[in-house]
Amino acid sequence: MKSKFNKESRNLLIEMLLGDGTISSNNVFKIAHCSQQLDYLEWKVKQLKEAGVRNNGIKSYIKTKGYNTGVPVYYTQLNIIPFIKVLRKVMYKEGKKVISNRKLLNRVSAKGIAIWYMDDGHINLRKDKDGRPMGFYIKISICRPKEEVQTIIDFFKEQWNINFYMFHEGRNKDSYSLCCGTKEGLKFIDIIIPYVLQVPSMIHKITFDLSQRKKNLCLYTRNGGNAQHSYTMKI
């Protein structure tokens, strides 16, 4: 295990902050998930340890506010380090997270994209009039202002050759998220699949079955509860 805080450590913190990670006003970096995603939190803690980022282990509390009250929430908090203070200044404005710094986005790796998707993304089938699957679309529900989302779209296009488009999502007028169709979605899954397959509770986010599709297409399928990275031709 690496013990020295370095560039890899800093990049991983950036990546974990894009989605569900938060930094409080007193510079506490917190990562929290529900009981169904406890294995995902454990995986994140492992990634942090391997990158030389110390944390205080996994703890829990019972949720008393908002939706799903009465359920347990599992979380970890990172030790106070100077870089967290820097991240707070760069990625927060007026107490709200802002994802508009292109230099920081350019530091996001394939693993970081996978974390972002596992935090905020999902997959949905598109069906024809007879109810047969004809494709799918990938969504990353970030609910950010249009200007921020455009910066993220440019990042995916220029750094990863993935073409996302934005759509309105959320209560606010200036609230948009990311979406792409089957062709771009397959390229996206190719990037993230090595990491998603390490987290059982997240495999459903890259699982789809287009076996009834009329046209040939590469696809990922689930067999006996285990995801397979396979290319199956269906006519």
Taking the C-alpha atoms of residue 192 and residue 140, their distance in angstroms, rounded to an integer, is 13
- Nearest-5° Cα angle at 70, 67 to 74: 90
Mean pLDDT to the nearest integer, 158-184: 96
As a whole-number percent, the residues of the chain with pLDDT over 90 amount to 72
Residues in the chain, total: 235
The pair of three-digit structure tokens given for residue 118, joined into one six-digit string: 């596992």
Taking the C-alpha atoms of residue 91 and residue 219, their distance in angstroms, rounded to an integer, is 37
Q: Give the DSSP letter of residue 55.
A: B
Where does the chain hold its CATH 3.10.28.10 domain(s)?
Answer: 7-98, 117-228
What is the three-class DSSP state of 161?
A: coil
Q: Which residues contact 13 (CB under 8 A, 6 or more apart)?
A: 21, 29, 53, 78, 83, 84, 87
- pLDDT at residue 231 in the model: 33
- pLDDT at residue 3 in the model: 52
- pLDDT at residue 213 in the model: 60
Half-sphere exposure of 32 (CA within 13 A, CB side): 14
pLDDT tens across 5-56, in order?
889 999 999 999 999 999 999 999 999 999 999 999 999 999 999 999 988 8
Mean pLDDT to the nearest integer, 168-172: 92
Longest dimension (CA), the chain: 58
- pLDDT at residue 207 in the model: 87
Across 38-76, b (16+ Cβ under 10 Å) vs e yields eebbebbbebbeebebebeebeeeeeeeeeeeeeeebbb
pLDDT tens across 71-121, in order?
999 999 997 788 999 999 999 999 999 999 999 999 999 999 999 999 999
Q: Would you say 115 and 40 are in contact if contact means Cβ atoms under 8 Å apart?
A: no
The pair of three-digit structure tokens given for residue 141, joined into one six-digit string: 């529900």
Taking the C-alpha atoms of residue 225 and residue 172, their distance in angstroms, rounded to an integer, is 39
Query: What CATH number has the domain spanning 7-98?
Result: 3.10.28.10
Domain topology for 117-228:
Endonuclease I-creI (3.10.28)
- Nearest-5° Cα angle at 34, 29 to 39: 85
DSSP-assigned states of every residue in 16-27: HHHTT-EE-TT-
- pLDDT at residue 150 in the model: 97
pLDDT band at residue 212, thresholds of 50, 70 and 90? low
pLDDT of 219 strictly over 70: no
pLDDT of 131 strictly over 90: no
pLDDT band at residue 206, thresholds of 50, 70 and 90? very high
